[in-house]
């Protein structure tokens, strides 16, 4: 009906992580028609850079933009044809560190960047760079380093991680006598993974952790 204001209310309520697989159905074609429907998100009208579309009478919104409106994080693994939606930074850390964080694990800093690997205008998968720091119980260190190997600073490329730690701690230096280094690098069917972790033993059975990870 002409002049009728069309609105669609949406909500992004995820569990820890959602996986969406890309697939096709042979001989089945659905037309995506750009729609002028106005999206209301948490009581306010939402704007999207990519078009909202109508497919078979149902309204679809861009996944990445929708997730990011609720501080979600979207990672596209082009080689596996899977899209991972993380509801918070802790879920992202657990996925790439491949652990379930201990109960007394405290995340204090989390920085990440996801960069599309474009070939002829197509995203063949996001490359990932992560940095995290926080505290945990010394007894829980083993839980976080499964699959990594203990090493010395000279054994691996800890330069970037140490520079990041210096930037974060500023005048407070790492305790030279209470450091543990771990690293892990391997190549999978989907890309190359590089992990570096440094643990600094603190008082009262605590430890500070500093972690960097790259996937490309």
21 pLDDT higher than 70: no
Residues 71 and 147 both lie in one domain: no
Domain finish residue from 60, 87, 114: 87
Confidence (pLDDT) at 25: 52
CB contact at 8 A, 196 and 185: no
47 pLDDT higher than 50: yes
Residues 120 and 191 both lie in one domain: yes
53 pLDDT higher than 50: yes
Give per-residue pLDDT as tens, 185-206: 888 777 788 999 999 999 889 9
Residues 100 and 200 both lie in one domain: yes
Domain finish residue from 41, 57, 87: 87
pTM of the model: 0.74
Question: Could you list the residue range(s) of the whole structural domain that residue 183 is in?
Answer: 88-216
Nearest to 158 by CA among 98, 210, 215, 92: 210
Residue-level length of the chain: 216
Tell me the average pLDDT across 84-101: 85
Residues 122 and 175 both lie in one domain: yes
Residues 76 and 99 both lie in one domain: no
For the ranges 18-32, 83-97, 147-161, 196-210, which has the lowest average pLDDT? Answer: 18-32
Q: Bridge partners of 135?
A: 106, 208
Nearest to 183 by CA among 209, 207, 152, 208: 152
Mean of pLDDT over the chain:
82
Confidence (pLDDT) at 109: 92
3 state DSSP class of 10: strand
Dmax over CA atoms of the chain, in Å, equals 74
- DSSP letters of 15-69? -SEEEEE----TT-----EE--PEEEETTEEE--SSPPEEETTEEE--HHHHHHH
Confidence (pLDDT) at 211: 94
Structure tokens at 197: 């972790």
13 pLDDT higher than 60: no
Residues 106 and 42 both lie in one domain: no
Domain finish residue from 58, 87, 116: 87
Give per-residue pLDDT as tens, 57-81: 999 999 889 988 888 899 988 878 8
User: In whole angstroms, what is the distance from residue 31 CA to residue 166 CA?
Assistant: 53
Alpha-carbon dihedral 174, 176, 182, 183, rounded to 10 degrees = 70
Structure tokens at 93: 């850390």
17 pLDDT higher than 70: no
Residues 101 and 201 both lie in one domain: yes
3 state DSSP class of 110: strand
Residues 40 and 114 both lie in one domain: no
Residues 77 and 98 both lie in one domain: no
* Environment class of 46 (CB within 10 Å of its CB; exposed 0-12, middle 13-18, buried 19+): middle
More confident position, 8 or 100? 100
When pLDDT is cut at 50, 70 and 90, the band that residue 27 belongs to is low
93 pLDDT higher than 60: yes
Residues 24 and 69 both lie in one domain: yes
Number of compact structural domains in the chain: 2
Residues 14 and 99 both lie in one domain: no
Residues 195 and 119 both lie in one domain: yes
């Amino acid at each position: 009906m002409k002049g009728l204001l069309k609105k669609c209310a949406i909500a992004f309520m995820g569990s820890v992580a959602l996986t969406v697989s890309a697939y096709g159905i042979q001989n089945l074609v659905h037309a995506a028609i750009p729609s002028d429907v106005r999206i209301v998100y948490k009581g306010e009208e939402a704007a999207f850079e990519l078009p909202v579309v109508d497919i078979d009478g149902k309204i679809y919104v861009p996944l990445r933009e929708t997730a990011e409106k609720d501080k979600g994080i979207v990672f596209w693994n082009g080689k596996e044809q899977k899209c991972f939606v993380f509801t918070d930074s802790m879920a992202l850390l657990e996925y790439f560190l491949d652990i379930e964080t201990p109960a007394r694990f405290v995340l204090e800093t989390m920085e990440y960047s996801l960069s599309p690997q474009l070939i002829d205008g197509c995203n063949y998968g996001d490359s990932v760079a992560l940095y995290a720091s926080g505290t945990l119980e010394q007894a829980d260190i083993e839980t976080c380093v499964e699959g990594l190997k203990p090493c010395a600073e000279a054994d691996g490329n800890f330069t970037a991680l140490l520079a990041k730690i210096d930037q974060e701690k500023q005048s407070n230096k790492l305790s030279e006598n209470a450091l543990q280094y771990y690293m892990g690098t391997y190549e999978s069917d989907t890309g190359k993974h590089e992990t570096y972790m440094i643990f600094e033993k603190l008082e009262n059975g605590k430890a500070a952790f500093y972690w960097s990870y790259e996937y490309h």
